[in-house]
Amino acid sequence: MTKRLGIGLIAHDRKKPDLAAWVTRNIEVLSTHRLVATATTGSVLKQSHPDVAVEVVKSGPLGGDQQIGAMIAEGKLDVLIFFPDPLAAMPHDVDVKALLRLVLVYDIPAAFSSKTADALVTSGLFGEAREPSPSGRPSA
């Protein structure tokens, strides 16, 4: 039997459609795990998949990134899927850096793009190894 993983899901504004599309392509495997998302990301995912349970924490700039980080430190999250927007300024940059630091300190698998997230899914980490999902075009 495959372990039920805690998976953190975060996407910056312009990357939310990319994360939603990635989740849609991988919903079969993701729905068997515990999903935790920051507020706006979670609302986007709940709209596209109302039948899938997604726990929601605060918005990233309001402390959600720190809440996800705390869950990593407490051993409640095993994987982070985070689609940051590398071309946008982040007023809460320090929170994002703290989150990335915890990913490294606790050595959890993390993906920052759909192709890397696909690699995690096909690795067998989420259960049985799967074929890569067809990748979509990144949004501008």
- Could you tell me the residue ranges of all domains in the chain? 6-122
- Which residues are the active-site residues? 65
pLDDT values of the chain reduced to their tens digit, one per residue, 140 residues: 468 999 999 999 999 999 999 999 999 999 999 999 999 999 999 999 999 999 999 998 899 999 999 999 999 999 999 999 888 877 678 888 999 999 999 999 999 999 999 999 999 898 864 555 454 433 33
Per CATH, which fold does 6-122 belong to?
Rossmann fold (3.40.50)
What is the pLDDT at residue 73? Answer: 97
- CB-based contact 39:58 (threshold 8 Å): yes
